[in-house]
Amino acid sequence: MEGRLLDQDQVKAIADLPSKEELLAKVAGALNSIATKLAVGLNAVPTQLATGINEVPASVNRAIKAISEKEQQGDGA
């Protein structure tokens, strides 16, 4: 380590560090996780949009029915 002598605790600390392969695996796993979350999030947008668009006619029908029922109640009073 740059020409310095290490004491026993420092040597032990270095020995306990993960290997290069372990560190690369952790980085790869983190990148994969981010990519997966991004893909899931991007996929959810069109699905939610389609659900919303499909709900519009049902909402309009419910509104028309409610207005019709209210008008019928007004006529009967």
pLDDT greater than 90 at residue 2: no
**Is position 7 within any domain?**
no
- Counted domains in the chain: 1
Let me know if 63 is exposed, middle or buried by CB neighbors in 10 A (0-12, 13-18, 19+).
exposed
Q: Which domain holds residue 29?
A: 20-76
pLDDT digits (tens, 9 = 90+) for 10-67: 999 999 999 999 999 999 999 999 999 999 999 899 989 999 999 999 999 999 999 9
Mention every residue, 6+ apart, whose C-beta is less than 8 A from residue 26.
Answer: 18
Task: Find the DSSP H helices in the chain.
Answer: 8-15, 20-76
**Is position 3 within any domain?**
no
**Is position 50 within any domain?**
yes
**Is position 41 within any domain?**
yes
Length in residues, the chain: 77
For the question of whether the overall pTM of this predicted structure is more than 0.75, the answer is no
* pLDDT range class, residue 76, cuts 50, 70, 90: low
**Is position 14 within any domain?**
no
**Is position 11 within any domain?**
no
